[in-house]
Amino acid sequence: MKQQNRETGNRGEAAAGELLQSKGYEILERNYRSKWGEVDIIAKFREYRVFVEVKTKTGDLYGEPWEMINSHKLSQVRNMGGLWCEESGWKGLCRIDVVGVWLNTQGEVEKIEHWENVQL
């Protein structure tokens, strides 16, 4: 991954984490990885474990953040969530959320949106 893309992603994930915490989410893990993929943020919210995909945009190329989520990506997050539940012993409720972050040309958050319980 290009350094600039990594920095953009890191800024977006930091902003997403702050937003989630301000809404009462407890961040359990960031960048949970295996050979099958990655989940950007794993959080606890009420009785749920929430697997959060963060999409960060710096321009209009490739559409809006939610347009970057497809069935393959959701399936990957779902599978990674299942792996995390297995490893952690969690047997409760789970869901997938998406946070879209728009950065301005200075790299500052211009807009941020949170979509809960995303399904295709």
* pLDDT higher than 80, residue 4: no
Instruction: Place 3 in a pLDDT band, splitting at 50, 70 and 90.
Output: low
Architecture of the CATH domain 3-115: 3-Layer(aba) Sandwich (3.40)
* pLDDT tens digits for range 66-101: 788 899 999 999 999 999 999 999 999 999 999 999
For the chain, give every domain's residue range.
3-115
**DSSP assignment of 30-89, as one string?**
EEEEETTEEEEEEEEETTEEEEEEEEEESSSTT--GGGG--HHHHHHHHHHHHHHHHHHT
Is the CB of residue 49 less than 8 Å from the CB of residue 94? Answer: yes
Tokens 């350094």, located at residue:
3
78-113 core/surface letters (b: 16 or more CB in 10 A; e: else): bebbeebbeeeeeeeebbbbbbbbbbeeeeebeebe
